[in-house]
Amino acid sequence: MSHIKTAILGASGYTGAELLRLLEHHPHFTITALTGDSQAGKAMHDVYPHLRHRELPKLVKHTEVDFSNIDLVFCCLPHGTTQEIIAGLPAKVKIVDLSADFRLFDVAQYAEWYGHEHRAVELQKSAVYGLTEHARDAVKKARLVANPGCYPTSILLPLLPLVKEKLISTDRITIDSMSGVSGAGRSPKQEMLYSELEGGASAYGVGKHRHTAEIEQQLGFMVSFTPHLVPMTRGMLSTIHVQGDAAKIRAALEAAYKNEPFVHVAATPPSTHSVRGTNLCVMSVTAGRLPNETIIVSVIDNLVKGASGQAVQNANLMFGFDEATSLIATAVFP
């Protein structure tokens, strides 16, 4: 059994912790280094008591890691900081980057949406956008995979097959998504306090959320995308309004995903509960009330298929393993 020496950069964030959960029983990826610059020197269980029973390396600064000894890096750093760090890694290290830093192929687009110039323009050219089910061949050969955003994952999985088969109009696709709070990360912010969120819902980033750029890049046209924050920790639901025939759309999605371990077409609109803690994306197709309207509802766990799970799925492919390795799980319900 091969052992892939694995580092997680930014392991003190939620996606880092989730990688550790998902990799607990992975037969090949061995956790060799964990970085967290502000928490360097601490044991992981000081930062995350739920990891108390795990044997894990201490958190160190990323400058303390001997990357010549590392085969695989999961990069969970905030966008912006990631580019230069990744650019400095040895050529033999394979990387799955969970930040937004390498998702936009056009660095001008990046600069526009993220407010500063891209700092690793050459490296950007080699990055593969890792929506696994639609990028397997490229991912297998990639050195650097840009792991998709959570919203784009929930939206592109249903839409890409329909666009490819020209089953829907590209005009005025309207998407309202709602997300669990964990997507905002673990840094303390007033608006993410429990007391500010329990029992309430809101829209945010209306007309300008950064994930729009990613969605439009992959689709090739503009969409209306509005995210909402609802009082739950995990889970993401996208309700997608398209113009096209519901029966054909359903048939196309069932055909596209019939052999996929992680993407399922359900008979009725799914709850995010069905995917909590799993790498699944479940979607439904229902005829709407307006002429030719079809409503697709798609759910994922934002921390798994929307982040750390898809990252493991990509890493599995990059190293030639079955992509489902260590990822098959039943949702934690209730």
**Catalytic amino acids?**
150
Interface with a copy of itself, residue 280, by CB under 8 A: yes
Give me the least distance between CB of 119 and a copy of itself, in Å please.
Answer: 27
CB of 83 to a copy of itself, least distance (A): 26
Other CB atoms within a 10 A radius of the CB of residue 146 amount to 28
Stretch that binds a copy of itself, among 1-9, 73-81, 154-162, 269-277 (CB under 8 A): 269-277
129/223 Cα distance (integer angstroms) = 19
> What is the closest distance, in whole angstroms, from the C-beta atom of residue 81 to a copy of itself in the complex?
19
Q: Does 202 bind a copy of itself (CB under 8 A)?
A: yes
- Residue of 43, 81, 286, 324 interacting with a copy of itself (CB under 8 A): 286
Q: Which member of 2, 3, 24, 63 binds a copy of itself (CB under 8 A)?
A: 24
C-beta of 141: minimal distance to a copy of itself in Å?
29
Report the alpha-carbon distance of residue 153 to residue 304 in Å, rounded: 11
Q: Which stretch binds a copy of itself (CB under 8 A): 65-73, 114-122, 263-271, 313-321?
A: 263-271
Strand, coil or helix: 128: strand
Residue 79 has φ and ψ, to the nearest 5°, of -60, 150
3-state secondary structure of 279: coil
Q: What whole-number distance in Å separates Cα of residue 257 and Cα of residue 134?
A: 11
Task: Rule CB under 8 A: say whether 219 interacts with a copy of itself.
Answer: no
Got the DSSP string for 54-107?
A: ---PPEE-GGG--GGG-SEEEE-PPTTTHHHHHHTS-TT-EEEE-SSTTT-S-H
DSSP state of 140: H
State in angstroms the smallest separation of the CB of 206 from a copy of itself.
Answer: 4
How many of the chain's residues bind a copy of itself (CB under 8 A)? Answer: 91
Contacts of 300 (CB under 8 A, 6+ apart): 150, 153, 154, 235, 236, 272, 275, 280, 281, 306
Q: How is residue 94 written in tokens? A: 């394979």
Of 114, 226, 245, 324, the one binding a copy of itself by CB under 8 A: 226
**Do residues 299 and 281 make contact, with C-beta atoms less than 8 angstroms apart?**
yes
- Does residue 293 bind a copy of itself (CB under 8 A)? yes
Should residue 275 be labelled a site residue for a copy of itself when binding is judged by CB under 8 A?
A: yes
Query: Applying CB under 8 A, does 287 fall inside the site for a copy of itself?
Result: yes
37, β-bridge pairs: none
User: Measured from the CB atom, is 66 or 112 closer to a copy of itself?
Assistant: 112
Does residue 195 interact with a copy of itself by CB under 8 A?
yes
* Footprint of a copy of itself on 228-247 (CB under 8 A): 228, 230-235, 237, 239, 241
CA-based Rg of the chain, rounded to a whole angstrom?
Answer: 19
- Exactly one of 115, 200, 220, 320 binds a copy of itself (CB under 8 A); that residue is 200
Contact 281, 153 (CB under 8 A): yes
Cβ atoms of 6 and 292 closer than 8 Å: no
Instruction: Please state the closest distance from residue 319 (CB atom) to a copy of itself, in A.
Output: 21
Determine, following the binding rule CB under 8 A, whether residue 324 of this chain makes contact with a copy of itself. Answer: no
Half-sphere exposure of 157 (CA within 13 A, CB side): 35
Site for a copy of itself in 72-111 (CB under 8 A): none
Closer Cβ to a copy of itself, 17 or 139, answer by number? 17
Q: Which residue lies nearer to a copy of itself by CB, 144 or 263? A: 263
Q: How far is the CB of 252 from a copy of itself (least distance, A)?
A: 19
